[in-house]
Chain A
Amino acid sequence: MQQHIALGNIDYAILLIYFGFVIAIGWILKRYMKGSSDFFLSGRSIPAWVTGLAFLSANLGAQEVIGMAASGAKYGIMTSHFYWVGAIPAMVFLAIFMMPFYYGSKARSVPEYLKLRFDEKTRGLNAISFAVMTVFSSGISMHALARLLQTLLNWDYNFSIMVSAIIVLVYILLGGLTSAIYNEVLQFFMIVLGFAPLVILALKDIGGWSALKEKLIPVATSQGFQAGTFSQSWQHMAHPADNPMGVEWFGMVMGLGFVLSFGYWCTDFLVVQRAMAANSMSAARRTPLIAAIPKMLFPALVILPGMIAIAMHYANGKSFLPLGADGTPDYNMTIPTLLAKYLPTGLLGVGFTALMASFMSGMAGNVTAFNTVWTYDIYQSYIAPGKTDTHYLWMGRMATIFGIIVSIGCAYLASHFNNIMDMLQLVFGFVNAPLFATFLLGMFWKRTTGHGAFWGLLGGMGGAALFHGLAIAEGNTPGIKGAWIAPHFHFHNDMGQNFYMAIAAWTTCFVLTIAISLATARNKTDEQLKGLVYSLTPKPETAHEPWYQQPVTLGIIVLAATVLLNILFW
């Protein structure tokens, strides 16, 4: 059965007011866009609380909201590992150790840091793969939004694509990165204030946390797991067969925590760009830490609804969530189902607007990262160096238009050829997995050379592809899901396979980079690496700041709170 949401006039009014504000913010910011650095870097003038919330929000796209609720329903509270093992430690690491290099080096993008630290080819590899990925991700966001609106509201697919593309285009053209950042903050409050009543009502309906735990027992036992599997985050991680994620603690901590999460939060320009826009080094370092505080509570907002939905699904004779073609629940419909059930017209407008906002900021985040990398790292570096700043500002606007047009193309590609998208996401996985090894060595080992970084990175990608060709998860047929060489490593499901692929890629890159660096001559002197490598950079002076502004103190508080959360939901 398909879910439908009936929006009333008041809901549409809220939706329209919201988008009115989004455009208006872009309009107001227009007069501040004087040069390319205003457009791409927000002139490095934004206070920490704004960049912090934008840092969080840039990642709060459809994948996060819809996907984490879906995972909450599918895997239970173990989904919180994405936050309490993955994201938060990585964000603290970024703030304390890596931000000084990103911000202090005056690099305008992550690829540009790679150029300063290593060489042109390493930058080129990262810039080009990143640019391609962002437009595809933006297109996938657009496609997912249009598909959802089609299912829920019966809106025309083309209409949804055009409307979302035009809104994002207008506010980025007007206000550049600042516009995207400000709207991400607006969206952050929309999501929190729009979803909180939903979660409160759903939790009240099921009878509170202890009743939820009770009702999650049959969900676990009927799938062949121990009673507490869906409500205890660590107790069922001794063996991959003990939990629905199909992974044991080592694969989770190393694959998800260390490799994938650090790789994403510490090297992805989409999020790092927000911190780079901060108005001082101190604000830049506080950005991920300010983001980490709400982030550690987000499982209550995005995972908990999924857990409630699956508990209700089993309690109601498997009729709460809509069923997919194969008879299993359509997990991606978790949030829409809850919205339709618990929010009456009025508040529904707020919740629904929050959902739409999250898709659009997902697109906008990608587009702003794309136009910067395109203009600075590809256009200015390889195509047209030495032009005036006005020219690059113009190019940034053109890149925004171009990026959105390509995104639209990708959205249609996704709607017609699902397997092309699967293939692309697979390749992105290969490209991203080894990155953190390159950055880690680059920032902490001054002996790392440009050749070492470049070939290590390529080798890591190759390692990922090779591992993928040898690994297969239960129930999958060899091919795009893995084992296209030979089924050599077996996993319980895709997630375990993914985590180990990441570990393989990271290790290959790490070892190769060290080996090649030792075999090649250094291409940068100590003097050139000042501000780019840990041992050659003076530590940022923070003693004069009050304790609540000191990154290390804040970082320790954040980590302690995260450990506490892990223990509470052990």
Chain B
Amino acid sequence: MNFDLRLPIGIMFSLFGAILTIFGLVSDKKIYEEHSLGINVNLIWGLVLLVFGVFMLLLALRGGKKPGPPPPQN
């Protein structure tokens, strides 16, 4: 099967990461006082997701050129 699962994973988490990062930058700081101990977790975790997503995308793009898995044994 030549469909690389890392591609959709990468796209989806990059998208989530971007959404959260932007939202973290523009959102009212009050929601963080209320919930996450005053930490802007949307911004921080948005960046984490973005890094993860881009990493997966890179793997998918690099891996796309590799030959397929070895043929089944026996």
Residues of A within 8 A of B (CB): 10, 13-14, 17-18, 21, 24-25, 28-29, 32, 42-47, 50, 104, 178, 182, 185-186, 189, 193, 197, 201, 204-205, 279-283, 341-347, 350, 540
Question: Given contacts A193-B48, A201-B36, A201-B37, is CB(A280)–CB(B72) below 8 Å?
Answer: yes
Which of B12, B32, B69, B74 is within 8 Å of A344, CB to CB?
B32
Instruction: State whether A347 touches B9 (Cβ < 8 A).
Output: no
Instruction: State whether A29 touches B3 (Cβ < 8 A).
Output: yes
Verify if B15 is at the interface (C-beta below 8 Å from A).
yes
Question: Given contacts A344-B36, A346-B42, is CB(A17)–CB(B15) below 8 Å?
Answer: yes
Closest to A24 in B: B8
Instruction: State whether A186 touches B1 (Cβ < 8 A).
Output: no
Distance in Å from the Cβ of A357 to the closest Cβ of chain B?
12
Other than the given A280-B70, A344-B27, 20 more pairs (CB < 8 A) read A17-B15, A17-B16, A18-B12, A42-B1, A46-B1, A47-B69, A182-B5, A185-B9, A186-B8, A193-B45, A201-B37, A205-B37, A280-B69, A280-B73, A344-B42, A345-B31, A346-B23, A347-B20, A350-B20, A350-B49
Distance in Å from the Cβ of A103 to the closest Cβ of chain B?
9
In whole angstroms, how far apart are the Cα atoms of A178 and B24 in the complex? 36
Verify if B62 is at the interface (C-beta below 8 Å from A).
no
Q: Chain A residues near B13: list those with CB within 8 A.
A: 189, 193
In whole angstroms, how far apart are the Cα atoms of A201 and B40 in the complex? 11
Distance in Å from the Cβ of B46 to the closest Cβ of chain A?
8
Instruction: State whether B8 touches A201 (Cβ < 8 A).
Output: no
Instruction: State whether A193 touches B41 (Cβ < 8 A).
Output: no
Which of B41, B46, B48, B70 is within 8 Å of A201, CB to CB?
B41
Instruction: State whether B36 touches A186 (Cβ < 8 A).
Output: no
Q: Chain B residues near A204: list those with CB within 8 A.
A: 37
Q: Chain A residues near B52: list those with CB within 8 A.
A: 189, 193
Verify if B65 is at the interface (C-beta below 8 Å from A).
no
In whole angstroms, how far apart are the Cα atoms of A540 and B74 in the complex? 9
Instruction: State whether A25 touches B16 (Cβ < 8 A).
Output: no
Closest to B31 in A: A344
Q: Chain B residues near A343: list those with CB within 8 A.
A: 35-36, 41
Closest to A538 in B: B74
Distance in Å from the Cβ of A3 to the closest Cβ of chain B?
14
Verify if B58 is at the interface (C-beta below 8 Å from A).
no
Instruction: State whether A186 touches B12 (Cβ < 8 A).
Output: yes
Instruction: State whether B1 touches A178 (Cβ < 8 A).
Output: yes
> What 0/1 pattern do residues 19 to 39 of B give for CB contact below 8 A with A?
110011001000110111101
Nearest 10 Cβ contacts at the A-B interface: A346-B42, A344-B31, A344-B35, A45-B1, A281-B73, A280-B72, A346-B23, A197-B45, A21-B12, A279-B69
Instruction: State whether B16 touches A279 (Cβ < 8 A).
Output: no
In whole angstroms, how far apart are the Cα atoms of A17 and B14 in the complex? 12
Q: Chain A residues near B72: list those with CB within 8 A.
A: 44, 279-281
